Structure 1
Amino acid sequence: MERYLVGGAVRDALLGLPVQDRDWVVVGADPAAMQAAGFISVGRDFPVFLHPQTQEEYALARTERKTAPGYHGFAFQASPEVTLEQDLARRDLTINAMAQDESGAIIDPYGGRRDLEQRVLRHVSEAFAEDPVRILRLARFAARFADFSVAPETLALMRRMVEAGEINALVVERVWQELSRGLMEHKPSRMFEVLRDCGALARLAPELDKLWGVPQPPAHHPEVDTGLHLLMVLDQCATQRAPLPVRYACLCHDLGKGETPADMLPRHIAHEGRSARLARRLSERWRVPTDCRELAELVAREHTHVHQCLSFGAEARLRLLDRCDAWRRPERFELLLWACECDARGRLGLEQRDYPQRERLRRDLQAASTVDLAAVSAAALAEGKQGPEIGKAVQRARLRALQALDDA
């Protein structure tokens, strides 16, 4: 029985990056031998075990062959006769197909070390084409290792996979899993560039793919192209270390611009409502978690109003707070402001601009939240008011608080 450290742990160590997870491959063993050695079986689809002390994953060396379309259409063989080289051959990229033995020596049968040095993402073999998830994984790695290029032959293979319809066999849960992880990488724009280059974005999210080539007013958007603006906004999210709901909301905030009639370009009147509708549709298709879905619709609907709030009077700002349900959902309102700041800074030459709107609306919410609701309600009841009239009294009190802030 021989064990080898494999995959991301070897790759990241060679890059000088912190090693997060350590995965192992065992050669020359079977399930009975692993269990006899104290390992705990956890694999459903193929033999994977947990080390009894470290809890690290140990998988038996295996080969696989395609039996049906899609992510689950594989048959696996794990036996003591499978070699390390055969196991590494089934991996997606050369930089993930290296191993390290117990003496520290690197086993690199497919040129992964060379591709690390040359900053290239390259598939190990034509077996890459058998698993459409690998398109998403490669795009995610492009977002993590932003200075890596995709090998031309790998990009061509990915295009053939898309044209063959393999991308249509992806299960939505896996799509969201990979895309959400890619959104949280150092340069999320790269993920969408790669997906667009191979044609996968048009299949997975035509609402997003339509944004490229759509112009915007240069006075507000020096970068002009809506797709380029989207990429810049996503990278602003990464720069500001925004959480996933903010990044997903920014991904969806301008979807309606892809449906602006040609005779209305480059202006995008009423794109906010279209964006919210398309964000809802995309979230349903990808089965996006509720916190991400709700924030995406809110940002799509309200981001231009937040941008314009400095010119609003107290009444308009109060209506904005009401529409955002800021009283009951202050944490979500703060995420809305964060997404709007990323949007404002995701423009060519304006990446360092100030965004006073964020502090303006924070102060508004704080001032209006100091209103003593119990006292206002009691006073209204004493005057014989009921139901909606009490609500109006609360609104008048909140409005006075904002007006006092303006007068200060």
Structure 2
Amino acid sequence: MQIYKVGGAVRDRLLGKPVTDIDWVVVGATSEEMLAKGFRPVGADFPVFLHPKSGEEYALARTERKSGRGYGGFTFHASPEVTLEEDLIRRDLTINAMAEDDQQNLTDPYHGRRDLEARLLRHVSPAFAEDPLRVLRVARFAARYAALGFTVAPETMALMRQLSESGELQALTAERSWKEISRALMEDQPQVFIEVLRACDALKVLMPEVDALFGVPQPEAHHPEIDTGLHTLSVLEQSALHKQPLTVRWACLLHDLGKGLTPEEDWPRHIAHEHKGLKLIKAVNERFKAPKDCQELALLVGEYHTHGHRALELKPSTLLELLQSFDVYRRPQRFEEFIAACEMDARGRKGLEQRNYPQADYLRGAATAARSVAVQPLLEKGFKGPELGEAIKRERLKALKAYKEAASV
């Protein structure tokens, strides 16, 4: 039995990056031997075991063969005869197909270290094209390591394009796709993830609603970058620079989908794009089974982001309706995330990335003013039921009128 550290732990050590998760591969062992040593099996599909003390994953060296469609369409073979090189060749990228023994001696049969130094994301073997999930994984790695200068090797991009055109991407489950998408959006340069998917024609398969934004013009006076797709990439980039959570980043990606529905004869204006985009945002949300908080914020940002930009001009009654829509009294954090998404949208414009966004503090102040209305005095006056609700609404409107007047002085 020989044990090797493999994959990301080796890659990140060689890159000088912190190593978080460690995966191990065991050569020359059987499942029975692993169980005898106290390892705990993980599921029934893979020969993977948890270490009895550290809890880290140890997988028996295995080969795999394509047997069906999609990510799960593989037959695995694990036995003591499978070599380390045979195990490594089934991996996606050369930089993930290296192994180390306990003395840090490197096993690198597919030149992963060379590609690390060349800053290339290159597939290990033609079997790369058998797994459609790898299109998303490579795009995610491109987003992770873009700051280090990594790019996708042309021959790997060609295989990704082949996968995009094969129909295999449709075989991916919503759960697996979302796992990759959500991780990619939380990388330092999530816009690169979208750029790579678009470059290999996967974006128009996975998110045609986002792909449709490229080439759609906006008024140059408001959007110096003009192109709606490029604007979306910039908004996503800003969301990462400002360390926004996943909910905000997802909303940033989807906020302008309605502009993809504008007839060409109406360009560059996009009348009512906020409302038109809701059905598209809903479709993308459902396609990937995004978490509920991501779904809700994306829809609210899609519908109301222009309200956010015009906050200082809104009538108190419109401002109150906006606050009610977000249920700021019980869910203040959601409104805070809406404000963040609006600010990222404003900053995601060429040359305007550093411009102040006074709407943010104004909206926060409006929410505070509305929340400051006390219910108890109204109860003491005898209001109850629907009448109480109307009385609260009147008092909140009064508070917002006072707030607006004070802010404009």
TM bucket (normalised to shorter chain) is over 0.9
Q: Deviations over 1:273-318 (max 9, x none)?
A: 1122211111111111110000100000000011001112322222
Q: Is the 8 A contact 1:98 1:108 kept in 2?
A: yes
Aligned to 1:4: 4
2-structure distance, mates of 1:340, 1:183: 18
What is the Cα deviation at residue 380 of structure 1?
5.4
Q: Is the 8 A contact 1:229 1:347 kept in 2?
A: yes
Q: Secondary structure at the match of 1:24?
A: strand
Q: Secondary structure at the match of 1:258?
A: helix
Aligned to 2:334: 332
Aligned to 1:172: 174
Aligned to 1:277: 279
What is the Cα deviation at residue 164 of structure 1?
1.6
1:401 equivalent to 2:394? Answer no
1-structure distance, mates of 2:145, 2:63: 28
Aligned to 2:225: 223
Q: Deviations over 1:222-266 (max 9, x none)?
A: 111000001011111111111111111111100000001111110
| 358 and 374 in structure 1: CA distance in 2 versus 1, 3 angstrom threshold | same
| 1:87-166 pair list within 5 angstroms | 87-146=87-146, 147-166=149-168
2-structure distance, mates of 1:335, 1:44: 41
Aligned to 1:72: 72
Q: Is the 8 A contact 2:29 2:80 kept in 1?
A: yes
Bigger mean CA deviation after superposition, 23-32 or 367-376:
367-376
- Residue 255 (structure 2) aligned to one of 253, 256, 269: 253
| 1:8-407 pair list within 5 angstroms | 8-146=8-146, 147-379=149-381, 381=383, 387-407=385-405
2-structure distance, mates of 1:380, 1:222: 56
What is the Cα deviation at residue 387 of structure 1?
4.2
Q: Secondary structure at the match of 2:18?
A: coil
Q: Is the 8 A contact 1:337 1:358 kept in 2?
A: yes
Aligned residue type for 1:404: A
2-structure distance, mates of 1:102, 1:346: 47
Aligned residue type for 2:399: A
What is the Cα deviation at residue 184 of structure 1?
0.5
What is the Cα deviation at residue 326 of structure 1?
1.9
What is the Cα deviation at residue 162 of structure 1?
1.5
Q: Secondary structure at the match of 2:75?
A: strand
Aligned residue type for 1:311: E
**How many residue pairs are counted as aligned between the two chains?**
404
Q: Is the 8 A contact 2:305 2:342 kept in 1?
A: yes
Q: Secondary structure at the match of 1:145?
A: helix
What is the Cα deviation at residue 325 of structure 1?
2.2
2-structure distance, mates of 1:152, 1:204: 21
What is the Cα deviation at residue 404 of structure 1?
2.1
Percent of aligned pairs with the same residue? 60
What is the Cα deviation at residue 51 of structure 1?
1.1
Structure 2, unaligned runs of 5 or more: none
Aligned residue type for 2:282: R
Q: Secondary structure at the match of 2:271?
A: coil
1-structure distance, mates of 2:165, 2:402: 62
Q: Secondary structure at the match of 2:356?
A: coil
Q: Deviations over 1:34-78 (max 9, x none)?
A: 112221111421211111111111100000010111111111111
Bigger mean CA deviation after superposition, 83-92 or 163-172:
163-172
2-structure distance, mates of 1:389, 1:34: 70
Aligned residue type for 1:120: L
Q: Is the 8 A contact 1:121 1:151 kept in 2?
A: yes
Q: Is the 8 A contact 1:380 1:393 kept in 2?
A: no
What is the Cα deviation at residue 321 of structure 1?
1.3
What is the Cα deviation at residue 155 of structure 1?
0.5
Q: Is the 8 A contact 1:217 1:267 kept in 2?
A: yes
Q: Is the 8 A contact 1:95 1:112 kept in 2?
A: yes
1-structure distance, mates of 2:133, 2:48: 20
TM-score where L is the length of structure 2: 0.96
1-structure distance, mates of 2:276, 2:106: 53
2-structure distance, mates of 1:121, 1:101: 24
Q: Secondary structure at the match of 1:58?
A: strand
Q: Is the 8 A contact 2:307 2:314 kept in 1?
A: no
